[in-house]
A and B are shown apart, each in its own frame.
Chain A
Amino acid sequence: MENPYIPMPMNVVKITTEVDTNDIKTFRLTFVSKEDEEKFKYLPGQFGELSIYGKGESPIGIASSPTDPGYVEFTVQRTGTLVGGMVTTALHDLEEGAQIGLRGPLGNAWPIDFLAGKNVVVVGGGFAFTTLRSLINYMIHGENRKRFGDITVVYGARTPGLLLYKDEMAAWQKRKDMVMHVTVDRGDASWKGREGFVPTVCKDVAPSSKNAVTVICGPPIMIKFTLPVFFDLGFSRENILTSLEMRMKCGIGKCGRCNVGNKYVCKDGPVFSLAQLEQLPRDY
């Protein structure tokens, strides 16, 4: 019988420090077993449980896109140890060449077939950009690009040093088949880009709601002020998607921890439309 609690062994082949505060790193993992690699079929928006024996497991969104085969990437923020953070701290202490465990892919995904044929507005704030990065890389990859309409990205962070995936962002900004709006709350001497909060930028950019879906991930405060902007633009609740976070343990709908109403975020989510969320009790 398959045991869904057993992690696959993974090699840590590359560690990238993403931010100037050094507490967010991207880990590139390759599969130790060819068989595991073939079985690991994922879509943007899914997550995995990163495992370090002796420390525990952490559920982390997959930051790479399945269009880049051979490896999986996770961007992990180190959290304080007062309320947890055992695993993320241990991960941050790793060096390239280490071996860790992975369970997954887990959860549902950004609804690619639903997004196909539509204009997609991606809105991200800070560290919550990881599975959005996966989605963007998926949509702009080769032949996939034709399946989607206009792609608009609004991405913000508090400071320039806190923006993730800087090289990739630069490359995206040069592309003609997508529009990037990168903003920071507060620039510094070298910052030549936009300043302002994500909701304000969304209002300025004012993407059309015609045949469009918006995919929003960020801190609760950003989401709170961004939603009204999209309501004003005429986006329906079915066409506003987000990814929920809840404390998780098993990741497979058994340990009973991450429910919102009758949905387990780990199994029925993490991706929900606003229309779906409004059906659930306000318990998140």
Chain B
Amino acid sequence: MKKIAIDQFSELVKVLAERGPLYAPVKGKEGVNFQAIKNPADVTLDFYNTVLSPKSVFFPQSEDMIRYRITHGATEAQPVPQESRPAVILGVRPCDVRSFEIMDRHFLGAGVIDPYWKSKRDNTTVIGFAFDVSAAADPADFYNTFGYGAADPEGSDVFMVRTDKALLLKSMTDRGKKLLDSLGFLQVAGAQDEKVFEETVKKGKAVRTRSAEINPQVIAKKLVSVFDNGEFWQKVTMACIACGACTYGCPTCYCFDISDEMLFKEGSRKRFWDACTFTDFTLEASGHNPRPRIFQRYRQKVCHKYSYHVDKYGCISCVGCGRCTRVCPVNIDIFSIVDEANKL
């Protein structure tokens, strides 16, 4: 295990940002969010969790897939080259780290590999970051439901714990070890530090979020069985205004739209985050829309995460990070909806 004094942290950020793309939390007008770091001083470790999830590092909100140029009837088109320098994402909370594995099952699974997700994922070392285990969890969080603790290092390449004066950095994978070994200026942590690290992980298990007994296989069947209970779905989604904020904040919402944008003779085929709660998500060219009503679309969202994803990939597509509840302008809470459905 390695460590670095808190006042030396910007040195670590500087070196990482020089080597390749570094994504880390930055405080902006909209709160703290992951950004590509240009100025090491921008990085902050003083946040509960980022407003938007870290998924944008591997799955940007808008991403060029193919760029093309059309001249005299001939078209030159090239897939957009992907970053080849190794990247680092630093400061990912334990529940968010788990979201990457859930997204991997989709983007790398079911027989088709998404090259845009894969290249960024393969290329990026994940430095997880324990929540402050002496503080209470945000009331919106419910990651305990999935068995995650506030300081679980699983899934991170390097896991980072903050103490009063230092940051402890423990490698969890070969990739993480390689990164730490390459940072010569880090101090070697002592036995006392190891103890603090282990205690933090343990204390993290004791930080309680909201939690419910949800068995993936059981809830998957349950939701399909209450699918036709329109009264229930209309009641729980009555307030929804179909703004899509929950899906934009979500670390495991992966639906995207593909669209062409062209100016004069040059353009690109892009993909954008989309939301199943939007009116035209399933609007067909014929004018037919299988899910014209908001309750039908919100039901799709819940069933996708807690039922269809379980059937397809064996796990619930939710990590209990609480973002959807925090960002919802009308206080809809997916945790309560699933819990209520479970008890129907």
Contact = CB atoms under 8 A, between A and B. Distances in A.
Contacts of A88: 285
B255 A256 contact: yes
Given A257-B274, A259-B308, A283-B290, A1 B228 contact: no
A54 B112 contact: no
A88 B255 CA distance: 24
Contacts of A3: 79, 115
B204 to A, nearest CB: 32
Contact of A256 (B74, B254, B280): B254
B256 A256 contact: yes
Contacts of A283: 227, 290-291, 296, 300
Interface stretch (A79-87, A170-178, A231-239): A79-87
B255 A2 contact: no
A69 interface: no
Interface residues of B, number: 53
Contacts of A252: 112
Contacts of B255: 255-257
A281 interface: yes
B112 to A, nearest CB: 5
A250 interface: yes
A147 interface: no
B44 interface: no
Interface of A: 1-6, 9, 53-58, 79-80, 83-85, 88, 98-99, 101, 220, 245-247, 249-250, 252-259, 261-262, 267, 281-284
Interface stretch (B18-26, B62-70, B185-193): B62-70
Given A3-B79, A83-B287, A256-B256, A247 B282 contact: yes
Contacts of B311: 262
A56 B271 CA distance: 11
A282 B281 CA distance: 17
Given A246-B284, A283-B300, A54 B106 contact: no
B70 A262 contact: no
Interface of B: 65-66, 68, 70, 73-75, 77, 79, 106-107, 110, 112-115, 118-119, 224, 227-228, 254-260, 262, 267, 269, 271, 274, 276, 280-288, 290-291, 296, 300, 303-304, 307-308, 311-312
25 contacts: A1-B113, A3-B79, A5-B79, A5-B115, A9-B75, A53-B75, A53-B269, A58-B285, A80-B285, A83-B284, A84-B283, A88-B285, A246-B290, A247-B282, A249-B258, A253-B112, A254-B256, A255-B257, A255-B258, A256-B255, A257-B281, A267-B112, A282-B227, A283-B227, A283-B291
Given A5-B65, A282-B227, 18 more contacts: A1-B115, A3-B115, A4-B113, A6-B79, A9-B75, A53-B77, A54-B260, A56-B259, A80-B287, A247-B281, A249-B257, A253-B110, A254-B106, A255-B271, A255-B274, A256-B304, A259-B300, A267-B110
A53 to B, nearest CB: 5
Contacts of A79: 285-286
A257 B110 contact: no
Closest 5 CB pairs of A and B: A256-B255, A262-B311, A262-B308, A79-B285, A84-B285
Contacts of A284: 290
B225 to A, nearest CB: 10
Contacts, number: 130
B208 to A, nearest CB: 33
Dominant secondary structure of chain A at its interface with chain B: loop
A56 B115 contact: no
B66 A261 contact: no
Given A1-B118, A255-B274, A53 B79 contact: no
Contacts of B290: 246, 283-284
Contacts of A245: 284
A3 B106 CA distance: 16
A5 B68 CA distance: 14
- Residue in A6, A56, A247 with the greatest tally of chain B CB atoms within 10 Å: A247
Contacts of B262: 53-54
B256 A255 contact: yes
Contacts of A56: 258-260, 269
Contacts of A254: 106-107, 112, 114, 254, 256
- Residue in A6, A247, A256, A261 with the greatest tally of chain B CB atoms within 10 Å: A256
